[in-house]
Amino acid sequence: MAASELTDRIVPLEDVWGRAGRELCGELIAARSRADVMDRIARALALRAGQPFETASGQLARRAVRLLEGGEVRVESVADRLGVTARHLRRAFTENVGIGPKEFARAVRLQRAVRMASTSCDWARIAADAGYYDQAHLIADFRQLLGLTPGAFFKRASGGMKRPKLIASDFPLPVR
């Protein structure tokens, strides 16, 4: 089943992973805590991670994922490094990952910013270090991808992530 067939849909895990999916669902129902659920999911994903992609387009997508996670942000640059056209890369990536490489790179960049924000409260610096043009673009990605402002996101976040302190100067008002 292509990942693009799963995008924006709710699909029973058994339909994707077969018996292993059914067994994992049973384990998740039996889990006694949120941490236990996360451990079981992590273990199941680790077991599946060792299974190689079967198709050439899957291998191409996996290599592109590594480049995008490594900081390469331009689809054309990734395609050049992989020796394919940008169009071919977009098609293979979407088929195997479920979203396009540009959207994936955007999500990776936001994840990078979230990790940085756990140790710093300088939003302008976080935006620059994560690869954003400016702080406004970082805030726009928070709103568009997570549906929350950075402050609201970190207010809701739990599990040991230190919430950065936001001050008014972090969000200057436009001068008219």
Provide DSSP, the chain.
--GGGTTT----HHHHHTHHHHHHHHHHHH--SHHHHHHHHHHHHHHHHTSPPSSHHHHHHHHHHHHHHTT---HHHHHHHHTS-HHHHHHHHHHHHSS-HHHHHHHHHHHHHHHHHTT---HHHHHHHHT-SSHHHHHHHIIIIISS-HHHHHHH--SSPPPPPP-GGGSPPPP-
Whether residue 40 has pLDDT greater than 90: no
pLDDT of residue 126: 92
- Residues 100-140 pLDDT 10s: 999 999 999 999 999 998 888 888 999 999 989 999 999 99
Residue 59 predicted with pLDDT over 90: no
Q: Is there a contact between 132 and 141 (Cβ–Cβ < 8 Å)? A: yes
**Residue range 103-165, CATH number:** 1.10.10.60
pLDDT, tens digit (0-9, with 9 covering 90-100), for 131-168: 899 999 999 999 999 998 888 888 887 554 444 444 43
What residue segments make up the domains of the chain, in order of their start?
Answer: 3-49, 56-98, 103-165
